[in-house]
Structure 1
Amino acid sequence: MIIAVIDGMGGGIGAQIISSLREELPTYIEIYALGTNSIATSAMMKSHANKGATGENAIVVSSKKANIIVAPIAVTMPNTMMGEVTSKISEAICDSEALKILLPIMPENFSLVGVENKPLSLLIKDTIKVIKKEFNIK
């Protein structure tokens, strides 16, 4: 099983996600750190991802291989993260057959109604619960 964690900017959100996934999930699960820039990829790799890659093409190609994609919802919106998310990135993520677990961390000029405002640590715990339930992991 491959979990692709996608992040941009400084990679802090992705790094926290990968760190928690490593603690809670079996070691046979591969985690890919996919950054929109090299700083994000580097930060996520320090959290013990199995593989890391940077940029549009890496995200497009790896999104096809992933069973699960975990990322802030902004990765589905072209031109977010100060322009780091391209149309090809958002299209590849949305078109992927992978289960997409999107954290409701929104760009400044977007609002998502009907979603409970939770701290990142609780969003990550919810993410792990979904993965364990969907893939029957104890």
Structure 2
Amino acid sequence: MKIAVIDGQGGGLGKVVIERLIKERIHEKASLFALGTNGVATSVMLKAGAHEGASGENALVYNLTNTDIIIGSCSILLQNSMLGEITPGMACAILESPACKILVPLKNHKIMLLGLKEQQLPRFLDEMVQKVNEYLLNRGRTAGIKKTKSN
């Protein structure tokens, strides 16, 4: 299993996400891959503990072809977001990827996501970790993996 954490600018959200995934021992079940829109974001996520990392549009598009889960903020779906760092090609690749997308809502003054409860970012990150764990458990069942005495 491969989890891609996508972030840009300073990589702060990606760093926190990777630290949370490591704290919950998810890195033992899946490979954590830092995909930064720039080298700084990638470097910050690698320092946080990602197994591998790559930067830029081509690296992001290429690596999403074999990713199981994509994690990032909702803004990774919007071309020209993050002050223009999310290119149209990146947004398209993320949207078209067959990977499960677990996105954290961040306040954007021009986009309102209805139905979300008002809560602080750490609570959304708790939910994100829970959803990743659920996906990893359910994915194993749907892939025909059965528990045996040796497991």
Q: Same fold judged by TM-score > 0.5? A: yes
1:123 matched to 2:124? The reply is: yes
Kindly, what percent of the aligned residue pairs are identical?
36
* TM-score, normalised via structure 1 length: 0.93
| Equivalent position SS for 1:115 | coil
Q: How does 1:98-109 map to 2 (within 5 A)?
A: 98-109=99-110
Q: Quote the offset at 1:106 in angstroms.
A: 3.8
Show structure 1 runs of 4+ deviating over 4 A: none
- The alignment status of 1:19 with 2:19, answered yes or no, reads yes
Q: Report the residue type matching 1:66 in the other structure.
A: T
Q: Which residue of 2 aligns with 1:90?
A: 91
CA distance in 2, matches of 1:86, 1:108: 20
Aligned counterparts of 1:47 and 1:26: Cα–Cα separation in 2: 12
CA RMSD of aligned residues (A): 1.3
Relative to structure 2, which stretch is displaced further, 6-15 or 102-111?
Answer: 102-111
Q: CA deviation at 1:109?
A: 2.4
Mapped to 2, the partners of 1:7 and 1:46 lie a distance apart of 14
Structure 1 pair 57–26 and aligned structure 2 pair: CA distance change class (3 A): closer
Structure whose alpha-carbon radius of gyration is higher: 2
Q: CA offsets per residue over residues 56-87 of structure 1, 9 Å max, x none?
A: 01110111111000000101000000000001
Q: Which residue in 2 is equivalent to 1:8?
A: 8
Deviates more, 1:112-121 or 1:62-71: 112-121
Matched, 1:114 2:115: yes
| Unaligned residue ranges in structure 2 (runs of 5+) | 139-151
1:90-112 Cα deviation digits (max 9, x unpaired)? 01001111100011114342222
> 1-side partners of 2:87 and 2:27: how far apart?
33
Specify every segment of 5 or more residues in structure 1 that has no aligned partner in the other structure, as ranges.
Answer: none
